[in-house]
Amino acid sequence: MEVRVLSAPPSSACAEQDYIRVHTDTDPLDDTTVLATIERITDKTKAGATQKRVKTLVTRLRMTAHAALELATSYAHWKKVPVVYADSSVEPRH
């Protein structure tokens, strides 16, 4: 299964009902440190109403933006989640 990595944030009209969201930002107290948050978002419709479930996998963990994206993509592949949205205020380093 191929996992698509998109840089655009999901819109309210997002067709994906199951995706991984990666957010990286610099630590406000130390701008040389990158903090990553990785979440799995699942939208389900029950009784005509859409319920959004957010499962946090990693919360503000120190890692590079590149490492966070690799971890999220690996998890998505393992769980057969088709899309990873990467929202980053820092540029990933290779």
- In tens, the pLDDT along 13-69 reads 566 889 999 999 998 888 888 999 999 999 887 777 888 899 999 999 999 999 999
* H helices, E strands: number in the chain: 1, 5
- Cα–Cα distances in angstroms (integers) from residue 23 to residues 10, 48, 50, in the given order: 12, 30, 24
Mean pLDDT of 66-91: 90
Query: What is the rounded distance in angstroms from the CA atom of residue 37 to the CA atom of residue 52?
Result: 18
Range of the domain at 58: 4-88
The number of domains in the chain is 1
Contacts of residue 72, defined as CB under 8 A and 6 or more positions apart, other chains included, come to: 20, 22, 38, 57, 84, 86
pTM to 2 decimal places: 0.83
Q: Is residue 93 part of a domain?
A: no
Q: Is residue 15 part of a domain?
A: yes
Q: Is residue 66 part of a domain?
A: yes
